[in-house]
Each structure stands twice: as structure tokens, then as C-alpha cells.
Structure 1
Amino acid sequence: MAIHMTEMNMVVSHNFLSEALSPRLVAVVSTIGSDGVLNVAPFASTGILCYKPAILFVGISSKKGGGKKDTLRNIEDSGDFVLNVVDEEMAEPMNITATDYPKEVNEFEVSGLTAAPCEKVRSPRVKESPISFECRVMQILQFGQAPHVRSVVFGEALAVHIREGLLIDGKIDISKKRAILHFGGELYCRTRDTFELKRL
């Protein structure tokens, strides 16, 4: 069976790709606005682009009906952001931050998450996160046509905060990280069931 992607509308393409290329790691991106209001929101379009320098990326869609999300606006204004991995304990607070709140609302306060200071950037990190990357913006690219514009933010990770006991002999204990993955829509999964394959 062959499906022509170019013939799909935006909604169908979004749902199909989210389900086909999943599960994906869930992260919450924390930022600070020019007015000092803190923002935190979840994103599943995140990943690693380069290892040295350490370049991470996050894909940010436009608001429903068009316009920039607070996360993107804050990133453009401040030039930095923090990428926080979401574990099982953060699932409910993460879901609360997915709501489209007014710009003046501090999602940390609404969700019950804790804003902690960073060392290299102005944006705060999420204290409850097992791993948080402080990132400085390197480039922002845009794709699509209005009102469905998606921005991809590339940032260099300047510092990383790791929960005590998670790093053992220089390696992250995956079983203790307990990250959650997103299939799309309201479906998530845990990362407790793992297996190894020896390279040939």
C-alpha cells in the first residue's frame, strides 16, 4: 500500500506522522519572557542534531489559527531555552502545561512544577526533571505556510543538570531515568521494558 503524503491535509498528515513515527521522547521547554513571566510547555519534536558541539533541536508549531506560541516568542527574545526530560512523575504536571494559557500566566505555578536557576542561561530549568539541558539559540528555521507554520529551534547545550544517582560511572542509568514517550494524541508509554542487541 502506498499513500501519497502530498495529498493529505494538515490534520491528517499530523495524525498519521505522529502515529507512524512514534513513540517520541517527551520534553518540556522552559523559557522566560521579556516581561519576566516564566513559561513551560511540552514538545515531542525534539532531538539531537550534533554531538560536538552538542546541538539539540525542538520543533514548535504555530498556535491554532496562527500566531507564535509563547515558547517561541520567548526564545526569540531571550536567545536561550532549557530542554527538560519528562519522567513518569512529571506526566500529570506536563499535561497541565499543554493547555494554551494567556501569556501572563506562569505555567510553573499552574502545574506545580518548580523553577530552578540555571548557570549559563536566563531561562529557568524544571527542578523535577531528571535531566535538563541549558541551551543557547544558534538558529531558527521555519517551514510550512501560514497559519500552519512550524519553527525548528537549534540550540547548543551549554550545561546539563542530572538528578543525583542517575549518572553511574559516567553513564546514565536508563532504568532510573524513567522517561515517558508519546505516541500522539492522548497515548503515552513508559520506558521500563528494555533489551540489548549485540552489534555484529
Structure 2
Amino acid sequence: MWIDVKSLQALDCYRLLTSLVTPRPIAWVSSYSKTGVLNLAPFSFFQMVTDQPPTLMISTQHKADGSRKDTSLNIAATGECVINLVPYALIDAMNQTAAALAADESEVALAGLTTVASAKVAVPRLELAPAAFECTLAQLQPYPAEQPSCELIFLQVQSVYLNPAVLNAQGRPDPHKLDLVSRLGGSDYSRVAADVFSLQRPASGQR
């Protein structure tokens, strides 16, 4: 079975891709507007780019009317954000922050969340997030150039917060203790720590 994606409506193409590219990590992004309103929104178009320099990327899809998301506008204006990771314990709060609010309303207040100061950026992190990346804007690229449907936002990590409670005996993040959630297709999610296994790479030279 082959599907010509050019024959699909935009919503059908979105549903197909998001049902197949799974699981996807969730970037729970806190950012300040130009007027100082603290915005918080989840994005599952999220990935690492490189570790030298440590860089993450989110894609902020445009709204149904073609306008840009508040997160995209905020990061462009201030050059900063924090990417909080989402544990299962906060899944309901994260879902609340996906609501479409006016730009002068804060999702943090809506979800009853508390924040604490970051170490190197002005934007605060979520107090209960087990890990968070303090980021500065490296590049914001509308895509595709001829008729943008999103912004690809490359973010350089300046500092990482880790709750000591999620570390293992070797001082490394423990996936079971982090208990992060990820997006599947539609309204489905999964828990990263549900079934973790290890697999060693073959030694150099083996086929």
C-alpha cells in the first residue's frame, strides 16, 4: 500500500505522520511575551540536533487561521525559553496548557502550576518538572520558505536542571524515575519507562 501524500488533505496528512512517527518526546515550553506574560505550551515536534554545541529543536505549527503560535512569537522577541520535560504525574496539567488562550493569559495559572527561577535565563522553569533545559535562540526558520506552515526553532542549551530524585546510583538520569510521557497518534500517549530494555552496539568492524 502506497499513499501519495500530495493527495491528502492537510489534516489527514498530519494524522498519518503523527500516528507513525512515534513515540515523540514532549517539549513543555515556558516563554515570556514582550509584555511579560508567562506562556506555557506542549510541543511533540521536538528533538535533539547536536551535542556540540548542545542544541534542541522544536517545530511550532501555525494555528488554523495561519497565524503563529505565542511560543514562536515569544522566543523570537526575547531570545529565551525553557523546555520542561513532562512526567506522568503532570500529564493532566500538561493537557490543560494545550488549551487555546489569549496571548495575555497564562497557561501556568490556568493549570495551577508553580515556577522557580532558572539559573541562566530570565524565563522560569516548572517547579515539579523532573528536568528542564534553559535555552537561548540560535535560529528561527520559517518552513517551507515559500509558504510557511511552521517555524523550526533551534535552541542552544545553556543549563540543564535535574531533580536529584530522578538519578540512579551512578548519578545518571533513570528512565523509570523520570517516568516521562510521549505522544503517539490522535489523543494517545505512552509512558517511556513502561518497558525499557538495553541493547549494546556491535564492536567496531563487526557487520
TM-score interval for Structure 1 and Structure 2 normalised by the shorter chain: over 0.9
Q: Which amino acid aligns with 1:157?
A: V
2 CA distance for matches of 1:64 and 1:160? 34
Structure with greater proportional strand content: 1
Partner of 2:95: 95
Is the contact made by 2:27 and 2:83 (CA closer than 8 Å) also made in structure 1?
Answer: yes
Q: What residue in structure 2 maps to residue 44 of structure 1?
A: 44
Residues 19-66 of structure 1 deviation map (CA, whole Å, 9 limit, x = unaligned): 011111122100011111100001001110001110001110111211
Query: Who is 1:71 aligned against?
Result: 71
The within-5 A match list for 1:43-192 is 43-144=43-144, 149-168=149-168, 169-191=170-192, 192=194
1:102 match: secondary structure: coil
Q: Tell me if the contact between 1:32 and 1:124 (Cα under 8 Å) persists in the aligned partners.
A: no
> Hey, what's the Cα distance between the residues in 1 that align with 2:161 and 2:78?
20
Matched, 1:196 2:198: yes
With normalisation by structure 1, the TM-score equals: 0.95
SS at match of 1:19: helix
User: CA contact under 8 A between 2:27 and 2:58: conserved in structure 1?
Assistant: no
- Higher mean C-alpha displacement, 166-175 vs 84-93: 166-175
Contact 2:88/2:191 (<8 A) preserved: yes
* Structure 2 unpaired stretches of 5+: 203-207
Q: SS at 1:76's partner residue? A: helix
Q: Which has the larger radius of gyration?
A: 2
Q: 2 CA distance for matches of 1:30 and 1:102?
A: 15
Say if 1:170 and 1:51 are closer, same or farther in 2 by CA, change over 3 A: farther
How far has the Cα of 1:185 moved from its partner?
2.2
C-alpha contact (below 8 Å) 1:141/1:151 kept by paired residues: yes
Q: Is the 8 A contact 2:68 2:150 kept in 1?
A: no
In the TM superposition, what whole-angstrom CA distance separates every residue of 1:144-172 from its partner, at most 9, and x where no partner exists? Answer: 465x6111100100001111222332421
1:2, distance to aligned residue in structure 2 (A): 1.6
Which moves more between the two structures, 148-157 or 94-103? 148-157
Give the Cα–Cα distance (whole angstroms) in 1 for the partners of residues 32 and 201 of structure 2: 44
TM-score with structure 2 setting the length: 0.92
Q: Percent identity?
A: 30
Root-mean-square deviation over aligned CA pairs:
1.3
